[in-house]
Amino acid sequence: MAINPDAVGTTSEPVESSWRSRDALLYAVGVGAGQDPLDPAELCFVTENSMEVTQRVLPTFAVVLPDVTGVFGSIGTFNPAMLVHGEERIVLHRELPVEGTITTTAEITAIWDKGKGAVVEVTSRSLGVDDGEPLFDVVMSAFIRGEGGWGGDRGPSSGGAVPDDRAPDASIDLQTRPEQALVYRLSGDRNPLHSDPGFAALAGFDRPILHGLCTYGFSGRALLRELCDGDPARMAALSGRFSSPVFPGESLTVQVWRTGSDEAVYRTLGADGRVVIDAGTVSCRG
């Protein structure tokens, strides 16, 4: 066992990162926005020069902005091929600007023993450089196969379970494209699992799979429109647990159950009805 549970509490030095208008536009296309060029609700996310339209940024763009790689060096050594993305949560303190610079501090906030593997939770907090005020937080967890079994705390079970006594209040159908992963990777995640058929075969897949955070972005688009009237300034938080891979070109269905005036739980299904994101929660500002 090479994971060091005592790494909990380790904090990185602040890391600065920046983005421009085109980065936000590319991300939006990477998570499926703009498939209907005549859809006025998404034109603001995929163009910067449309008449009487001001560019805005999808809230889930926050997941690609902070650099948290440095803090992982404190948790010990492990085989990177055994790491899979477990969960993702964003907390948005205000609307993301079209262009900006942030400083991000990342912390190892938990390491749990799941027996057959370890779960490492990293929390990053990003501040705007211009004003020093919080912009967003990202909490991600990674499951590392083969690194559990030291007798540590198993950690909490995920919340956000969908109701089993009623049908969803809304079901939104989405369509990914065959080249979706090739576009999404240009926003920063160049893992060949999502682009190289040979590498995907080594991981047990007959073709490259879609990034989990791309599926998360598709889900976020649907929830933004359904629950926040398409206004990115209203989305306050979004979480989800990745439970099954998606293949580029596959259709998705986001099922939503409202739990309050500005809160809901959701899950995302693949084309065959399997759950690909579960334990999902979303909250919007009134």
Annotated active-site residue 194? The verdict is yes
Q: Which of 113, 189, 211, 278 is catalytic?
A: 189
217/123 Cα distance (integer angstroms): 19
How are strands ordered across the β-sheet holding 117-128?
Answer: 15-19, 100-113, 117-128, 134-145, 83-92, 235-242, 275-284, 263-269, 251-258, 170-175
E strands in the chain: 15-19, 83-92, 100-113, 117-128, 134-145, 170-175, 235-242, 251-258, 263-269, 275-284
286/284 Cα distance (integer angstroms): 6
Stretch (H or E) spanning 222: helix 212-228
Query: Could you tell me the two tokens for 10?
Result: 């380790």
Query: Could you tell me the two tokens for 79?
Result: 């085989």
Residue closest to 221 by CA, chosen among 186, 268, 286, 261? 268
Contacts (Cβ under 8 Å, ≥6 apart) of 60: 31, 90, 213, 216, 217, 220, 221, 238
Give CA 281 to chain center in angstroms: 12
Q: Which of 23, 113, 137, 194 is catalytic?
A: 194
Residue closest to 268 by CA, chosen among 244, 234, 249? 244
Q: Which residues are catalytic?
A: 189, 194
